[in-house]
Amino acid sequence: MDAETAEPRVLEAARSLFAERGVQAVGMDAVRTAAGVSLKRIYQLYPSKDALVEAVLRRRDAEVREAVAAHGAARSDDPRERVLAVFDYLAEWFAEPGFRGCLFINTHGELGGISAGVTDIARAHKAALREYFARLTDELDAPALLADQLTLLANGAMSTAGINGSPLPAAHAKEAARVLLGAAGR
């Protein structure tokens, strides 16, 4: 199997396994089996499990950034509505079968203390969400602090939904976001 075919299969299999079981509980043999790709090819693509974990996180980061922006853009041109659409996106994500929480939060919880690469990627991912909210709150001419508050709501909803196994935290966070937007006069 060539690298172009193998790579997406390996990344998707690893992402699924890491999300389901956690990174430390998944060996490279499990990734091999799930992806249907030989260990030799996997190690040609990713010389270590750390390299695979980081590649999975980078790919997921790009997917989430694109999905959040597309979800908001599909809902409205109004920045206020695009802010609220983030929480609609979260509700849909949390309701997916097998949802076990945010891969970045979970992986950082497992490996952040021992992997600078994981920490850097997780921080950049969370900073990107904050930057997305900041662009929208800037369009609303709202206080800069509002972007930080919205980011906390979204990340808190992710953690709570992952622990509780319920999509309700997204709805609760959306209502809190409405209150914050209203308090900011938006």
Please give the average per-residue pLDDT across 17-31, as a whole number: 97
CATH number belonging to domain 56-183:
1.10.357.10
Fold match between domain 1-47 and domain 56-183: no
Residue 123: which residues within 8 A CB-CB, separation 6 or more? none
Q: Average pLDDT of the chain?
A: 96
Please give the model's pTM, rounded to 2 decimal places.
0.93
- How high is the pLDDT of residue 112? 87
- How high is the pLDDT of residue 42? 96
Question: Beta-carbon neighbour count of residue 66 at 10 Å?
Answer: 10
Q: CATH classification of 1-47 is 1.10.10, yes or no?
A: yes
Dist CA 125 CA 121 (whole Å): 6
Domain ranges of the chain: 1-47, 56-183
